[in-house]
Amino acid sequence: MLNKNNVKIGCSPISWISDDEPSLGGVQITWLQTLDEIVMGGYDGFEMGCAYPWNVEQLSKECHLRGDVQLCNAWLNLRLTSRPLEETLERFKKHRDFLYAMGAPVIGCGECGVTIHMTSDIPLYTAPPILNDQQFEALTKGLNECGRLAAEKGMLFGLHPHMGTGIQTAEEIDRVMKNTDPNLVGLILDTGHTAANGDDPAAQLEKLIDRVRLLHIKDCNSSVVKKMKAEKLSFLEGVRNGLFAVPGDGDLVDWDGIFKVLDKHNYEGWIVVEAEQDPSVKNPFEYTKKAREYIRNKIGF
């Protein structure tokens, strides 16, 4: 069963300021406010957000002032399918070295060489990008190389599947996992993106638990998924309409199933609440605090 000494609960500042849609939050909310409220909400750590400073001295100081709250991960856009490998690896090294200096254990990346998730005019569900064999080979080769670079620093590396990119379905995720070195390449499983795609997050977690390096937990609103399909909305339009929700506030993820799998396999590592929401509609401190209480009620800590 889950051991509270081996599991840490984190929170992404994306509920306050969306990395995908910065107009949600924007200048009205500072990064220091997000860090304060993550700590007050009872979380052990946080992920980097688009408003956070990439300065080790500055960020470390603010973490120390707040009881040494820990940075656990930061997203990096990979472009292994569209740019030269060495260019991406140089960017990865700089990203890795910052996280290493901050004491973060995980490097989470998304493949964004072929993507529609940052556009507002391409329907998410009718025009998903599909990688050709050459692009897929470039992706898996590059992921292995990123994994080797992470291992040099004793860090964990995971691919984060994301709606609107070339790796989003259960089949696409399975293909990546089967064609990469399990000792080098792991998975940042995201329950919200998995559910929004129509797959079962608990089943995916059960199948790939040995590859999971960090778990992002969020829910989805089925009414928004239906609206996106009916009106042919883009990913960003879905986010603006409330596609994602914190655990306990949506209706697509089987949370009992998720926590049963984690408990069964005695999961060790980070569980991170990450739910893009409009802070003017759903107060981020209120909802992330509710999410932390929801998790505590499910697992006991």
Task: List, for residues 125-166, the tens digit of each pLDDT value.
Answer: 998 899 999 999 999 999 999 999 999 999 999 999 999 999
Q: Are strands 156-159 and 186-190 parallel, antiparallel or unpaired?
A: parallel
**Residue-averaged pLDDT of the chain:** 96
Fold topology of 7-299? TIM Barrel (3.20.20)
Question: Region 216-233: what's the mean pLDDT?
Answer: 98
Q: At residue 22, does pLDDT exceed 90?
A: no
Q: At residue 27, does pLDDT exceed 80?
A: no
> CA torsion sign, 49 to 63 to 156 to 216?
negative
What is the DSSP code (8-state) at residue 297? Answer: H
Structure tokens at 113: 């060489």
Dihedral-angle region of residue 231 (phi above 0 means left; psi in -120 to 50 means alpha; beta otherwise): alpha
Contact 245, 221 (CB under 8 A): yes
Instruction: Please give the C-alpha separations between residue 20 and each of 13, 236, 254, in angstroms, as whole numbers.
Output: 12, 7, 25
Q: At residue 205, does pLDDT exceed 70?
A: yes
pLDDT number for residue 127: 83
Structure tokens at 224: 């928004």
Give dist(CA 214, CA 125) in Å, integer: 26
